[in-house]
């Protein structure tokens, strides 16, 4: 329900704007992520960031501090990857529900 409300708010506030994709058979869903290790000087928490593109058009992105202090750069990267993967799973489900094929 929250997602539907976000979409409706966007459509209301951005008339005439949109994302345009080529008319090929399938769209490429690509995700990139990054994490720093202990980047916050005061809390030593790491920061996660990712962007997901659909045929080169950004459709989802996020940057936030991780909830816990990572004990290694590997742990910080793992947490960033887990966040990104959950977003990809949701986007793939959404595209499937909309009847959009992706590669």
pLDDT value of residue 68 = 87
Torsion of CA 19, 61, 87, 11, to 10 degrees: -40
The pLDDT of residue 32 is above 70:
yes
User: 């966007």: which residue's tokens?
Assistant: 10
pLDDT value of residue 77 = 87
For the stretch 51-84, pLDDT in tens is: 998 888 888 888 888 888 988 888 888 888 888 8
Greatest C-alpha distance within the chain: 49
Domain boundaries, the chain: 26-97
Structure tokens at 83: 């966040």
pTM of the model: 0.67
Give the ranges where the chain is alpha helix by DSSP (H). Answer: 2-13, 73-97
Task: Report the alpha-carbon distance of residue 88 to residue 85 in Å, rounded.
Answer: 5
């Amino acid at each position: 329900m929250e997602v539907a409300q976000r979409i409706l708010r966007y459509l209301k506030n951005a008339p005439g704007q949109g994302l345009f994709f080529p008319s090929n058979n399938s769209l490429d869903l690509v995700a990139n992520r990054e994490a720093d290790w202990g980047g916050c000087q005061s809390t030593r928490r790491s920061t996660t960031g990712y962007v997901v593109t659909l045929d080169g058009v950004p459709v989802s992105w996020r940057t936030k501090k991780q909830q816990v202090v990572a004990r290694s750069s590997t742990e910080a990267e793992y947490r960033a990857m887990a966040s990104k993967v959950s977003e990809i799973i949701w986007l793939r489900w959404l595209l499937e529900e909309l009847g959009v094929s992706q590669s």
